[in-house]
Amino acid sequence: MSHVKLVFVLIIAAYFLDIIDASIVQIALPTIQKQFATSLADLQWVYGAYALTLAGFLMLMGRAGDVYGQKRIFIIGLVIFTIASFSGGLAPSLLALIFFRLVQGVGAAMTTVTAFAIFIGLFPEGRERNRAFGIIIAVLSGGFAAGASAGGVLTTFFGWRSVMFVNVPIGIVAIILSRRYLPSADGWLKNPHLDVPGAATVTAGTMLLVYGLTNAAILGLASSLTTVPIILSVFVLAAFLLIESRSKLPLMPLSFISRGSVLAANTLALVLASIVGGISFILTIYLQTILGYSPIYAAIGTLPGALIFFFVGGWGAARIIDRIGARRTLLASSALVTAGVAFLIPISPQGSYFTILPGMLVWALGASIGFPAVNIAAVAGTKHGEEGLASGVVNTSFRVGFPIGLAVLLTVAGAFDPSSGTGSVNAASTVTGFQYALVAGTLLGVLGFAIAFFIKDVKGPSESWGEGPGVT
């Protein structure tokens, strides 16, 4: 493939847009809360709306790329994401902002899933792909740190709207370069049509699930707006499995899920993402609302963890996986994440940044080696023509995990915080709620450690970076 390295850069750019959007918006959340005078539970919809459509459309867009061509879906997604970012920056109300975040999620689903599919086809399985994963993690970790720092600066000096506008120039440049340099190709599948019943049920079922779980943090588990969508999602997703088992041209062949470690790896991806999604939100609110840090200082506080992702996740994880295999790497990762979250449990209203720093560092170390390893395990054995399928499944697992973790941990926190949902903050009761949520996060880590035992080993062959058949 010509321009392989440039194509790789464009793949990273698509992920960079997603990661910088997440870190910038997260830092700006307390400022958005103050402007629109909303409760903490309602505030999560700024992220939850984005996660809703992003998770819901991943499977559909992944297979659409296989059918209609990855480049076409990728560029359309960039256009949608860029326009929605600009519109979100102009939002006159919280409701309008949430709507444009929904649209952003659709665009992000199209870009991230096709970018990953292009990546799978770009590098052959083994050490070469592992090293490329490391580079992606390193760059994205730098992007997260840059996004957090930029979010703090932009929010402090230019207001929260600037964090939406910053995506626009990046998106425009990515669109121009993608149109010129991404190779034009039709879809890999001979079938020119999508499995419409399967696409409709998996998209609707995933969105209902995320919607119900997000409502859980706002209204509680007993609310009909929580239980009804979740129950409906179970029936709709069950219908999806039934459709796929009988379809001659399924959207997601069930034989794919049962292959190798695909099911265990995707389950572990969901658990790890749940922990990261919930704990990241809690720490952001703790630093700014409880400890009184400004957005810029809260952003600086995330830098140590981001540097661990950059150096360990980016440059060390691939070597660790090559040496000890994916299974042992994921066992170590889950153990470190669990320990790191447990170290955070003693937080208090009178605490300081340095009391939470050790837990943040251990947690970041575990996640930095775990994310590349679980991705590698989830796409191991992918066949030609399954790039979009594999990408859609693992990205859905990660993306559903974030709102699940956010909803579960905030629901736990709210159950032990009388001030939850009132729009006011009582530091002592809020921190008590957070402590119980951190206990729940620790238990999720234990579950992840147990799941890691079911991962089959994946190691790279002896070829070195740049020597395999995928690089020119």
318 near 131, Cβ under 8 Å? Answer: yes
Q: Which of 265, 201, 260 is nearest to 382 (CA)?
A: 260
φ/ψ region of 423 (left if φ > 0, alpha if ψ in -120 to 50, else beta) reads: left
Average pLDDT over residues 337-347: 94
Q: Which of 22, 189, 15, 16 is nearest to 115 (CA)?
A: 15
pLDDT digits (tens, 9 = 90+) for 95-139: 899 899 989 989 988 998 888 777 777 776 667 777 777 777 667
Q: Which of 195, 361, 381 is nearest to 283 (CA)?
A: 361
Q: What is the pLDDT of residue 100?
A: 92
Q: Which pLDDT band holds residue 462 (cuts at 50, 70, 90)?
A: very low
Contacts of 23 (CB under 8 A, 6+ apart): 143, 144, 145, 147, 148, 151, 302
Q: Which has more pLDDT, 339 or 4?
A: 339
Per domain, the residue ranges of the chain are 4-452
pLDDT for residue 467 is more than 50: no
Query: What is the amino acid identity at position 343?
Result: F
Q: How far apart are CA 132 and CA 116, in angstroms?
A: 12
Query: Domain 4-452 carries which CATH code?
Result: 1.20.1250.20
Q: What is the pLDDT of residue 41?
A: 62
Q: How far apart are CA 18 and CA 278, in angstroms?
A: 18
Q: What is the pLDDT of residue 394?
A: 81
291 near 357, Cβ under 8 Å? Answer: no
Q: Residue 196, SS3?
A: helix
Q: How far apart are CA 431 and CA 356, in angstroms?
A: 13
- Could you tell me what percent of the chain has a pLDDT over 70? 82
Return the half-sphere exposure (C-beta side, CA atoms, 13 A cut-off) of residue 58.
27
pLDDT for residue 189 is more than 60: no
Take residue 399 and report the two structure tokens written for it.
Answer: 């993306």
By CB atoms closer than 10 A (0-12, 13-18, 19+), residue 5 is exposed
Q: Which of 305, 426, 448, 306 is nearest to 373 (CA)?
A: 448
Q: Residue 77, SS3?
A: helix
Q: What is the pLDDT of residue 333?
A: 94
By CB atoms closer than 10 A (0-12, 13-18, 19+), residue 35 is middle
Average pLDDT along the chain: 79
Q: How far apart are CA 81 and CA 75, in angstroms?
A: 10
pLDDT for residue 268 is more than 90: yes
Take residue 322 and report the two structure tokens written for it.
Answer: 């090559």
Q: Which pLDDT band holds residue 361 (cuts at 50, 70, 90)?
A: very high
pTM reported for the whole predicted model: 0.72
Q: How far apart are CA 258 and CA 248, in angstroms?
A: 18
403 near 287, Cβ under 8 Å? Answer: no
